[in-house]
Amino acid sequence: MARRSDHSRDELTRMALAAARKIIAKQGLRGLSTRQIAAGIGYSPGTLYQLFEDLDDLILHINAATLDGLIEACRDVDLAAGPEAALEELARRYISYVGNNRGLWNAVFEHSLPEGRIAPDWLRERTRSLLGLAERAIAPLFQESEEAARRHEAQVLWASLYGIAALATAGKLPPGESPETMVQSLVQNSVAGLRSRRARP
């Protein structure tokens, strides 16, 4: 087993996160333990507690990296292409990313912190960044003063998209349906509804 001096703290942190990601990708969050992670990097489980507060803290860092991956995948979407086109492209990339990272993406939603413990700001900022993409895409459908309404609709869209992706990754979509066609209907109906609402006197 490697000695603690064999790697720097930063190197150990990267090694531990990489090992944990591999476990989650293959076995899901339920297969993750400090013993498995430590074995994967050749150190004792105690070493992990010098790097992270606890297993929950380690999982939060993994989930942040997973969210970063989705943000990066969506970074160059043309949000000025119009609400429908922008949302459809965001959704397409979302579905693709989730499909390629099922175990890691499921961990984002399966993991719950102990009662009374709040997710750190650096993790919540990732969620806000993703929500911001949808908000910017639908911004032309709202007045500047309708910030709360715009945020609400963006949250509804992300939640609906998550539901479609979850059913798809679990193989539980209705027969004859695909995530792509369902997402297209979701976006078209949502945008049409918002436009209709804005057109009302």
Domain ranges of the chain: 1-52, 59-199
The pLDDT assigned to 5 comes to 60
Collect the ranges in the chain with pLDDT lower than 70: 1-5, 200-201
For 7-48, write each residue's pLDDT tens digit: 899 999 999 999 999 999 999 999 899 999 999 999 999 999
The pLDDT assigned to 2 comes to 44
Identify the burial level of 40 via C-beta atoms within 10 angstroms of its C-beta, where 0-12 means exposed, 13-18 middle and 19 or more buried.
middle
Q: Name, in order, each residue with C-beta under 8 angstroms of 173's C-beta and a sequence gap of 6 or more.
A: 164, 167, 179, 182
Residues comprising the chain, all counted = 201
The pLDDT assigned to 126 comes to 95
Local structure of residue 88 (DSSP, 8 states): H
Query: How far is the C-alpha of 30 from the C-alpha of 161, rounded, in Å?
Result: 24
Q: Name, in order, each residue with C-beta under 8 angstroms of 200's C-beta and a sequence gap of 6 or more.
A: none
Contact by Cβ (8 Å): 56, 117: yes
Query: How far is the C-alpha of 74 from the C-alpha of 89, rounded, in Å?
Result: 8
Cβ neighbour number for residue 46 with a 10 Å cutoff: 10
Report residue 152: phi and psi, to 5°: -60, -45
Q: What is the CATH number of domain 1-52?
A: 1.10.10.60
Query: How far is the C-alpha of 89 from the C-alpha of 79, rounded, in Å?
Result: 9
The pLDDT assigned to 1 comes to 46
CATH superfamily of the domain spanning 59-199:
Tetracycline Repressor, domain 2 (1.10.357.10)
